[in-house]
Every structure is written in C-alpha cells, then in structure tokens.
Structure 1
Amino acid sequence: MLRFEDPIYFWLLLVVPLFFLLRMASWRKKRKQLRKLGDPDLLAQLAPDVSKYRPTVKFWLQMAAVAVLVLMLARPQMGTKVSHEKRNGIEAIICMDISNSMKAEDVAPSRLDKSKMLVESMVDHFTNDKVGLVVFAGDAFVQLPITSDYVSAKMFLQNIDPSLIGTQGTDIARAIQVAMHSFTQQEKVGRAIIVITDGEDHEGGVEKAAEQARKKGINVFILGVGSTKGSPIPDGQGGYMQDASGQVVMSALNETMCQQVAKAGSGTYIHVDNTSDAQEELNDALTKLQKGETNSVIYSEYDEQFQAFGIIVLLLLIADVCLLEARNPLTKNWRIFKKNG
C-alpha cells in the first residue's frame, strides 16, 4: 500500500498545466516573430540543425521532473507489513458531547478533558475491537470512522474541542442516529454506542433514538459526566458564562434523563466522577457484549519511498541536460527526431 504523508503538496501539481499554458503562449509569440523574418520553409533550410521536436521533449522532461519532485515532497510511504487479521471483538462508537457545558470543572480537570482521559484508557484496553468517534453539540458528525487503528483513534481524540461544532446545544438523539449508521456490515458482532454527556439534552427524542438502536441489536451506554448540584461554565477569559440577564449559567448533570436513555437502549448508565470507578464499570459492561469475528487489514509499518522518486527526478534532469535543442554534430545522423523541413 502506497500512501502520501503530506497530500497538501498535490496542489503544487497545478504548476504543470500552468507552465504548459505559458509555453503555448510563448510558442505562438515566437512563431509570429519568425514569420516576420521570412518564409518558414526558407528559414528551415538556413538552419538545418534546428529541431522543432527537441524543445518540446525537453519541456516535458522538465515538467515530469517537477511532478515527480512534488510527489517526493509529499513523502511517499509504502506499507511493509500488511496483515489480514480475523479478530474476535466488538464494535464501539463513542459519542462525545462537546457543547460548552462540557467545559465545567466539577470533574477535574474538566468534564471534557475527563471524558477524553476515560476514552483513551478504554481504547488502551481494546485488543480485538473496533472503535469510532462521533462528536456532537447542537449537531453531530463522525470525527473518526470505525477502525481498529487505536493510534489514530487517540490522535483524533486529542483534537476534540467545542470549537469543532458551531451550532451549540445538546442533541443526543442526533448523535445516536449518526452512530447507528457508522458501524460495519459485519454480522454476529457485539455493537455498542457509548454516549458521554452531562445530560443537558435540548432537542428531545433521545429515548426514541435509543430504542431504535436497541431494535437493531445495538446497546446504548450513557456515561454521565459532572455533578447533579451544578457548576459554572468557564468562558475562557477568566470568568464564567452568563445568561441574558447577567446571571452566571449553572450546568448540572441530568442523571434521571441519562438513566432513562440507557434503559431504553438496553445499556448501562455510569456516573463519571473524579474516581476511576466509571472506567472499571464500563470495561465490565463491554466484556459482556456478544463478541464476533471481524476482518481487519492492518498496515503496521511504513517505509519512506522518497529516495526512488529522487532518483527518477535526477534521471529526468540528466536527460534534459543531455538533450540539446539543436542537433548534436556527433549524433546528427541519428534519426530519433526529424529535422525541420
């Protein structure tokens, strides 16, 4: 499997058609100037060693060198160890609440950061399972498609922030619906949707969404983060968020709603606080799910391949230097390119 570490460099390939357009404009201008000097056939007889094909060949050699150089800068890598593994595990989609209320600090260091730590610890316990990430606030989208690449999962996890979604609110039902469509088509595999939230659902319909998931054989687990007593929400400027009347907004865990959703989804409600109890409860609950055989293609190591591209660039440049625009007296009898006229 060949991959490119920095695909952004592919935009540089646009210089190739740009140079082509510039060359066409230059060629037309030069052709008009030659016509002003005299008859083209007569000019060809006066300069028999000039080839009309060699400059074009040199141009395309240069463009090929530029294109390969761009590919080299994109750091091509080849998977050196490819394994098709059959794993006995479950599929888990984690729905993480990233609304502003998750910034509350009634759970240290904050509700959101505690959630990240919990998920990272959970992924560390996975061996034969697949995991995906869905983030939600007033809307929901897939942050990481379901995968058995735990390194990527933890990398995407660290990038989760409330700024990812501009629509504020807490639409848990939408998150569950997105998660339901994010599993593989593999049969006989235990599936779980793990919703991590403070339970401040503003849209409704969440119990119905959990029931739909249950009917599809998907267990819905709810991890309620925070305190039922409520906590202010930091505004990022040293103060706390306020409502329209200037009162400090207090965000409290809606534990009753979380329990009802977990029951509707045939899952478990787990309260997340400053202890490690939630992690242990979740691990125990997931081990009870039916485990099935999942197919995974894993590219475990990648080798840099830019050296081969560098050699190709060097060969193209050498060919460009060796190929003269005028016919070489030493090779004038070779018929690789036709003469003018």
Structure 2
Amino acid sequence: MVFAVFFFILALAQPRWGYEWEDLKQEGVDIIVAVDVSQSMLATDIQPNRMERAKHEVADLIHLLEGDRIGLVAFAGSSILQCPLTLDYNAAKMFLDVLGTDLIPTQGTALGHAIRTAVKAFSSVEKKSKAIILITDGEDHEGDALAAAQYANEQGVKVFVIGIGAEEGAPIPDPERQRGFKRDRKGEIVLTRLNEVVLQQVALSTGGSYVRSVLGDMDLNKIYLEDIKQRVEKKELRTARRKRWQERFQWFIALGLVCLLGECMVREK
C-alpha cells in the first residue's frame, strides 16, 4: 500500500521529461488606421472634440484586436507613418496618444496622400489581408482621393471610411485666438464640411464601407468585427516554435495500480 500511495503522489506532481517541437502559427489581418489631424479636428460639435473622440475610439479598437497587426498614419495637408504595423498593442497606444493637430504643419486634407502612405506601409506584397480605416472630417483638398483609392484596390487593400462631423458643418477653432474661430478673407467664420460623395466612392471602390459619425460613435467595433473580420481574408503573420514537454504521470498511475492489485492478491492468499 505504501508503494501505491508513493506512486500516486508522484503522478500528482505531473512529472515530465522529453519534448518535441511544436509550430505555433498566428493568423490575422494587417490594419492601418489613418487619422485626420488637421486643425478642423479641434471642432467641438463632437465632445470633447473630434480629435480626442477619434483617439478614444481607436484606443477601444486596439483593445479589441485579436492577433491582428495595426499601424497608424497621421495626415493633414500631407501624411506620415506614425506607427509601423505591429503586434505590440501597448506601443501602438503610445503612438496614438501623441497624435495632435501640431504633428503636421501643412494644413488641409490630403486624402489621396494619406491612402498612398497607408498602402505603402503594408510590408507584404500579397494582395489580401489588408485594410485601411480612414477617419476624417474634411473635404479632399488635393482632389486625388479616388485615384489613390484605385491604387489601393489594385494592391488588394479595402478602405473603410468614417466621416466625422455634423451635417451643417462646424467652425474651426483658431489656436492663435482665444475662443476664436478661423475666418476667411471677408471675415466670415470658416465651416468645415464633409464631402460625403467622395468618401463614399473611396470606400465602395475598394470593397470597403462608409460610416458617418455625427454623435461621436464611429462604429469601429462593428467595422472590425462585422466587416474586417468577416470580409478580409486572414494570413499567417508569424510562426513561432516552442517545446512541448511529454507528460509521464500515466506511468506512475499504472505502477500505483499494479501495487494496489498486488496488495489485494497478497491479502486474498
């Protein structure tokens, strides 16, 4: 009986020796979020303002990601790659935190430039598993958004566009004037308005979708879960190898059972 108990205790310790290598494959989608950082994003028709609301929504999206790589592009009159594609979501949030209207000195809304910068940020030449989420409140000042969308489509990139702002437009805060707004040469307050026709065409021409955000809810969670996850094909993002140790507790259970059986046979005699 003593030996049986001894072997059972060893089995509970789950002894392991010997191992084999196991390949772990991680699949997902590459997502670039392009955020408008022009001064019009300081408008307060969406609280606390369009910029802060957009950053909050993108942060929620990053928290929701499931093994997908994410990158960030900031754009106004030009565009920059703010954060390369990464699986390090904490790093992505750090890059997101520093987004602001002073990041790009050239003002305006260069949608085409932003789309091209985002497309070039994808490292893979495969024409699949790529999505751009474009968040903007302005018009296409450069006039080449549709050409850029066609370029994205040729590279297998779907563009999902979120237009942010009230239908009637909103005044643009002027950082140089306390509680003041930007004015044109006639002294009239400048209003920023969406060119929804262009934004819709950009999305539809790439197989993406367009959402208008009036109250601040950008539906990023819905776009990710229902559009990107369901409609964008996944690919293998990385492969890792790990040791899988062989469990040997079964041997000790068997020895314990043999000891119990032997004990019973001895007692019967």
Provide the TM-score with structure 2 as the length reference: 0.75
Match of 1:285 in 2: 227
Structure 1 unmatched ranges of 5 or more: 1-83, 298-341
Gaps of 5+ in 2: 1-22, 241-269
Counterpart amino acid of residue 229 in structure 2: T
For the 8 Å contact 2:61–2:221, the answer to whether it is kept is no
Q: 1:296 to 1:273 in 2, by over 3 A?
A: farther
What corresponds to 2:186 in structure 1? 245
1:299-338 to 2 correspondence within 5 Å? none
- Structure possessing the higher radius of gyration over alpha carbons: 1
- 1:167 maps to which residue? 106
CA distance in 1, matches of 2:72, 2:235: 21
2:43 match: 104
Q: CA deviation at 1:111?
A: 1.3
Give the structure with the larger strand fraction: 2
Pick from 102, 117, 136 the counterpart of residue 56 of structure 2.
117
Residues 186, 294 of structure 1: 8 Å contact kept: no
Deviations 1:76-115 (A, max 9, x none): xxxxxxxx96321100011111111111111111111111
What displacement does 1:202 show? Answer: 0.4
> Do the aligned partners of residues 125 and 239 (structure 1) sit closer, same or farther apart at CA in structure 2, a change above 3 Å counting?
same
Which is further off, 130-139 or 241-250?
Answer: 241-250
Distance between the aligned counterparts of 1:85 and 1:222, measured in 2?
34
List aligned pairs for 1:1-341, cutoff 5 A.
86-185=25-124, 187=126, 189-236=128-175, 237-274=178-215, 276=217, 278-283=219-224, 284-288=226-230, 289-295=232-238
Change (3 A) 1:109 1:210: same
The structure with the greater share of residues assigned to helix is: 1
Note the alpha carbon deviations across 1:127-165, whole angstroms, 9 max, x for none.
210001111111111111111110011111010011111
Conserved in 1, the CA contact under 8 Å of 2:69 and 2:87?
yes
Question: Aligned residue pairs: how many?
Answer: 214
Name the SS of the counterpart of 1:204 in structure 2. Answer: coil
Please provide the CA RMSD for this pair. 1.8
CA distance in 1 between partners of 2:110 and 2:217 (Å): 27
- Could you say if the C-alpha distance between residues 105 and 275 of structure 1 is closer, same or farther in structure 2, counting changes exceeding 3 Å? closer
1:295 aligned partner, one-letter code: R
Letter of the 1:293 partner, please give it: E
